[in-house]
A and B are shown apart, each in its own frame.
Chain A
Amino acid sequence: MPSFPLRVAGAVALAIALPFAVSACGGGGGGDENSIVIGTKFDQPGLGLKNPDGKMSGFDVDVATYVAKELGYTPEQIEWKESPSGQRETLIQNDQVKMIAATYSITDARKEKVAFAGPYLVTGQSLLVKADNTDITGAESLQNNKKLCSVSGSTPAQRIKDKYPGVQLQQYDTYSACIEALKNGAVDAVTTDEVILAGYAAQTPNTFKIVGKPFSEENYGIGLKKDDTELCTKVTDALKKMESDGAWKEAWDKNLGPAGLAAPAPPTPAAC
């Protein structure tokens, strides 16, 4: 039967193509009347993490859920979309998401592309070391050929290169890879925003510790479509409410508390 392999090939091609056709209909747009598409990280423990059972957890996720609630959406109506750092502006500009809460630092370069509500969280670059490390106590102890790890091309990685030339920098694609290198002893410390480090420290308590004071300031905001002032005002109001009614501190304690970081005073969101 010479046509058999062809038929099999056809069936395989169809099996591969069909899901694309279906998702092409379902994926587009910023959500219909009854749902809202929110972008977040899927791989950042303590901030935005997609768990093996498919549920989302983390501080960013809790903030976004609260804001969505204030906008009139139940948690079931939220459709989460993964937003890796490099794609966040594009996702907003193309209307693929309504808003993004994904460790999104407010910077001038980004403000030219998107609008921000917030900040809802102020953090800064810090250092994560093994629990038994006594060498590294903070940014001032970064001398003598210490080995640090951060994510390729990220702002914290660039800051280390520019400001601490006495340090060797290992860059990996993901923080998980850096954490693995820290466990193996290939690097002395992992460096990035304190809350991100806290998320990893909280995953395996008593293995790592955060040392020193943050040596930069990052303001996390919720990314929105530029010039959508109405939405921006609503989101800002929701953030203010979240901070005043205790939900903000609750979210912090739940997601980042296990790392041993006490909840700071929440920042005041700027006017739109």
Chain B
Amino acid sequence: MNSEVLPGFTVGQILEAFWTTIQLTVFSAVGALILGTVLAAMRLAPVPMLNWIGTTYVNIVRNTPLTLIILFCSFGLAQTLGITLVDFQSATSIEDSNFRLAVLGFTVYTAAFVCETVRSGVNTIPLGQAEAARSLGLSFGQNLRVVLLPQAFRAVVAPLGSVLIALTKNTTIASAIGVAEAALLMKEMIENTAALITVGAIFAGGFILLTLPTGLFFGWLGKRLAVAQ
């Protein structure tokens, strides 16, 4: 762990930075999955107002650059509105605040993509099933919970994997507001060693190690869970 990769930088430091990347990814992925599913339900609901809210959210958020969303979390939410998500007096307030704001930003952004993915999954289910469920007396909520979403998720496991991979790589943007993840350590290493290609290769390799198995796992899971129709 203490062996130096390049002068002044140890393997441990790199692993620590990637651990932050993983944490950012996991927390944001869980948040985005929940928010995205709620949004998908809104877009499918038989209530025009909810449809409108869901559609507007997706169209605004997925068309806004992620850097802008992350910077807004830091400057707009934390500095201007005072929503720092942390106790201002704590000794690690800046670090914690940045991390939580970044998770919030990634959640909000990725949820738009999760919503569209889940909705496309629902569209793979023959319309007759939803109609049959309604005629049996299931409410919209029951219909969604019992009939539609379980099948929809199984259909979109692989595309959700793609969204997760994109999220993993997107977390590098958190260095813009100072979250100590992989991209920030990369900047430090380039600044100190001026070895652009070596450092670039280390971090590209690190991300491939994270994302390639993710993709393979979700591909396998998708096949396993696929609904025969």
What mask results when residues 179 to 215 of chain A are scored 1 for a CB within 8 Å of chain B, else 0?
Answer: 0110011100000000000000000000000000000
Q: Tell me whether B78 and A186 are in contact (CB under 8 A).
A: yes
**Which A residues are within 8 Å of any B CB, using their own CB?**
85-87, 89-90, 107, 109-110, 112-113, 145, 147, 152-155, 157-158, 168-173, 177, 180-181, 184-186
Residues in B neighbouring A173, C-beta threshold 8 A: 175-176
Contacts of A181 in B (CB 8 A): 75, 79
Residue pair A170, B98 in contact (C-beta under 8 Å): yes
**Interchain nearest-CB distance for B85 vs A (Å):** 14
Q: How large is the interface on B (under 10, 10 to 19, 20 to 34, 35 or more residues)?
A: 20 to 34
Instruction: Report the Cα distance A162→B71, complex, angstroms.
Output: 26
Q: Judge if B2 is at the interface, Cβ distance under 8 Å.
A: no
- Measured between alpha carbons, how far is A184 from B194 in the docked complex, in Å? 34
B196 at the A interface (CB under 8 A): yes
Q: List 27 A-B contacts (CB under 8 A).
A: A86-B190, A86-B191, A109-B7, A109-B192, A109-B193, A145-B91, A147-B94, A152-B175, A153-B186, A153-B190, A153-B191, A154-B187, A169-B178, A170-B98, A170-B178, A171-B175, A171-B177, A171-B178, A171-B184, A172-B74, A172-B177, A177-B71, A180-B79, A184-B75, A184-B79, A185-B79, A186-B78
B contact residues around A145 at 8 Å (CB) = 91
A155 near B191 (CB under 8 angstroms)? Answer: yes
**Residues of B with C-beta under 8 A to A185:** 79
**Is B192's CB under 8 angstroms from A168's CB?**
no
A89 proximity list for chain B (CB < 8 A) = 194, 196
Contact assessment for A152 and B176 in the assembled complex, using a CB-CB cutoff below 8 Å: yes
Asked if A168 and B93 sit within 8 Å, CB to CB, the answer is yes
Partner of A153, one of B71, B187, B194, B196: B187
B75 nearest CB neighbor, chain A only: A180
Any A CB within 8 A of the CB of B188 = yes
Q: Is B92 an interface residue (CB 8 A)?
A: yes
CB distance from B182 to the nearest CB of A (A): 11
Which 8 A-B pairs rank lowest in CB-CB distance, beginning with the nearest? A153-B187, A171-B178, A153-B188, A184-B79, A168-B94, A186-B79, A173-B176, A110-B194
Measured between beta carbons, the chain A residues less than 8 angstroms from B194 are 89, 107, 109-110, 112-113
Interface string of B190-202 (1 = CB under 8 A from A): 1111111000000
Shortest Cβ gap from A201 to chain B (Å): 21
Residues from chain A with a CB closer than 8 A to the CB of B92 are 168
- Contact across chains for B176 and A86 when beta carbons are under 8 A apart: no
Instruction: Contact check, B95 vs A168: say whether CB atoms are below 8 A apart.
Output: yes
A152 → chain B closest CB, angstroms? 5
User: In the complex, A113 Cα to B188 Cα: how many Å?
Assistant: 17
Cβ–Cβ < 8 Å partners of A147 in chain B: 94
- Min CB gap B57→A, angstroms: 27
> What chain A residues lie within 8 Å of B98 (beta carbons)?
170
CA distance A125 to B78 in the complex (A): 27
In whole angstroms, what is the CA distance A214 to B196 when docked? 29
Confirm or deny: B80 has a beta carbon within 8 angstroms of a beta carbon on chain A.
Answer: yes
Q: Which residue of B lies closest to A158 (CB)?
A: B188
Q: Report the bound CA distance from A87 to B199 in whole Å.
A: 13
